[in-house]
Amino acid sequence: MNIRMVRYILGWVLRFESIFLCLPILVSVIYGEREGIPYVIVAVLCFAISWMCTRKKPEINRLCAREGFVSVSLSWIVMSAFGALPFVMTGEIPNFVDAMFETISGFTTTGASILTDVEALSYTSLFWRSFTHWIGGMGVFVFIMAVLPLLGGTDLNLMKAESPGPSVGKFVPKVKDTAKILYGIYILITVVEVLLLLLFGMPLFDALTSTFGTVGTGGFGIKNDSFASYAPALQNIVTIFMILSGMNFTFYFLLLRKKFSQALKMEEIRTYLAIITITGVLVCIFTRQHFATVGETIRHSFFQVGSIITTTGFATTDFNLWPQFPKTILIILMFIGACAGSTGGGMKVSRFIIVFKTIKKEIGILIHPREIKKIQMDGVSIAHETVRATNVYIASYFMMFLLSVVVLGIDNLDFTTNFTAVAATFNNIGPGMELVGPTSNYSMFSPICKVILSFDMLAGRLEIFPMLMLFSRRSWKRL
């Protein structure tokens, strides 16, 4: 393990965190809140540590795959630990485990909260809390790469660990340029949503925090009822932007390059939109009696479907009170998740496509044992490695999921709560069902369960392996 290089990278992550912390400090100045002081202290602390770690670039700056993975996992943990400090220091979340849970939930764009009264927070902390979604959505390393020529040719190993999906799509030959394009699109979507929300009468602070939660597919709200009290038009805008943020960014890249037909033919996008349409309609049918008008039914159904499949986690209604069928649909959508290469979580639509094609192929082999067929997506053969990695991913996902649900059993809450709590954190959604439903929160879990769920959030965001590698002895061995 190239410890010096890992420390150097961690240093840069903290440098950027100190810069990010300037935004809530600005908010505290605007609102004249004393809560800004801890943010200043933490920003200075981050900068100081960063300065010490990055003073000297290590001579050996080679970064192999495992070092890339370990660096990314550690960075996310360190970033969350420092991000949690202001909450503890302002006294708004006095317990460090809770503050860590909340911050990990922010950075991983989960949106699960241990706060029973969100509205009691200062504007400063509300802003920071939502802003972590925006940072985590596209990824902090993608950001660093976009602005800094950090590591020469080995950036890809870092990006691989942070980017969601079965394979990393590089738009252009250089990682740096790909990162720039990604953040360019991300910022564009952010700006458009903020403007639209403002246009339809949302206050600026609400528009900013809601947008961070939407485009990062996070889900932290600034109101106790999440999104229920906003005007229907605002809810519809958020529905659309949640769905847009859950799309594979390759789609936007193709649009920018005017390759419209290629963009519209993307299997993942088509499947994703088809799933939303079909499940949305089914949910409409089965929740019709819960709402006064057809329009209201459609609005709430698609908001909830969009919120869950993109793993955002906003809510306009307490879907925990719905009948079991639409509720179960939402639970399944939690697992499917958004597209690969989006800001959303879950297992990703493309993995489901690959799995379905693999199953079909396997049946084909059983029917004609000598038949050799390659699995294709968007007309291109999928690398054997990708198929294998997808299957292994799903198997590991399954194992970690079961293990987490078992351990959560020690709190003696009901099975649905435990199951959906793991589903909602592991898939980076936020609200689950029953005791962790959209009108509730995660405060009743014991510290040990909060740690498990925090781990699940990180494992979900970084797609399991980078987190698992922290526990592999071989990761830490010197080469």
Distances (CA, A) of 222 to 24, 119, 182, 213, 457: 14, 6, 27, 10, 21
Confirm or reject binding of residue 442 to a second copy (CB under 8 A).
no
Which of 172, 187, 199, 410 forms a contact with a second copy (CB under 8 A)? 410
Q: At what angle do helices 175-199 and 140-147 cross, to 10 degrees?
A: 110
User: Residue 26 or 355: which CB sits closer to a second copy?
Assistant: 355
Which x/- pattern, by CB under 8 A, does the window 338-357 give for a second copy?
-----------------xx-
Confirm or reject binding of residue 285 to a second copy (CB under 8 A).
no
The single residue listed with the structure tokens 């649905």 is 416
Cα Rg for the chain, rounded, in angstroms? 22
User: Residue 222 or 382: which CB sits closer to a second copy?
Assistant: 382
* Smallest separation (angstroms) from a second copy to the CB of 182: 23
Confirm or reject binding of residue 448 to a second copy (CB under 8 A).
no
**Residues in 416-435 at the binding interface with a second copy, rule: CB under 8 A:** 416, 418-420, 433
| Alpha carbon 260 to chain centroid, angstroms | 27
Contacts of 117 (CB under 8 A, 6+ apart): 224
Confirm or reject binding of residue 363 to a second copy (CB under 8 A).
yes
Q: Contact 235/243 with Cβ under 8 angstroms?
A: no
Confirm or reject binding of residue 159 to a second copy (CB under 8 A).
no
* Smallest separation (angstroms) from a second copy to the CB of 187: 32
Q: Contact 111/105 with Cβ under 8 angstroms?
A: yes
Confirm or reject binding of residue 394 to a second copy (CB under 8 A).
yes
Confirm or reject binding of residue 262 to a second copy (CB under 8 A).
no
Number of residues that bind a second copy (CB under 8 A): 55
Confirm or reject binding of residue 472 to a second copy (CB under 8 A).
yes
Which of 359, 374, 383, 447 forms a contact with a second copy (CB under 8 A)? 359
- The residue range among 136-144, 253-261, 262-270, 462-470 that interacts with a second copy, by the rule CB under 8 A, is 462-470
User: Residue 126 or 413: which CB sits closer to a second copy?
Assistant: 413
User: Residue 257 or 368: which CB sits closer to a second copy?
Assistant: 368
* Smallest separation (angstroms) from a second copy to the CB of 155: 16
Angle at Cα 437 formed by Cα 209 and Cα 336, nearest 5°?
Answer: 80
**Residues in 50-89 at the binding interface with a second copy, rule: CB under 8 A:** 65-66, 69
Which of 324, 376, 381, 443 forms a contact with a second copy (CB under 8 A)? 324
* Smallest separation (angstroms) from a second copy to the CB of 407: 8
Which of 61, 225, 411, 444 forms a contact with a second copy (CB under 8 A)? 411
Separation CA 472–CA 113 (nearest Å): 30
Confirm or reject binding of residue 450 to a second copy (CB under 8 A).
no
Confirm or reject binding of residue 447 to a second copy (CB under 8 A).
no
Phi, psi of 299 (to 5 degrees): -60, -50
Confirm or reject binding of residue 369 to a second copy (CB under 8 A).
yes
Distances (CA, A) of 366 to 142, 362, 371, 387: 43, 6, 9, 18
Which of 61, 95, 262, 391 forms a contact with a second copy (CB under 8 A)? 391
User: Residue 21 or 469: which CB sits closer to a second copy?
Assistant: 469
Q: Name the token pair of 478.
A: 């010197």
Distances (CA, A) of 477 to 61, 72, 73: 17, 17, 17
**Residues in 187-206 at the binding interface with a second copy, rule: CB under 8 A:** none
Confirm or reject binding of residue 31 to a second copy (CB under 8 A).
no
**Residues in 304-323 at the binding interface with a second copy, rule: CB under 8 A:** 323
- The residue range among 71-79, 84-92, 289-297, 401-409 that interacts with a second copy, by the rule CB under 8 A, is 401-409
User: Residue 8 or 419: which CB sits closer to a second copy?
Assistant: 419
In the complex, the residues that contact a second copy under the rule CB under 8 A are: 65-66, 69, 323-329, 331-332, 335, 355-356, 358-359, 362-364, 366-369, 388-389, 391-392, 394-396, 398-399, 402, 405-406, 408-416, 418-420, 433, 465, 468-469, 472, 474-475
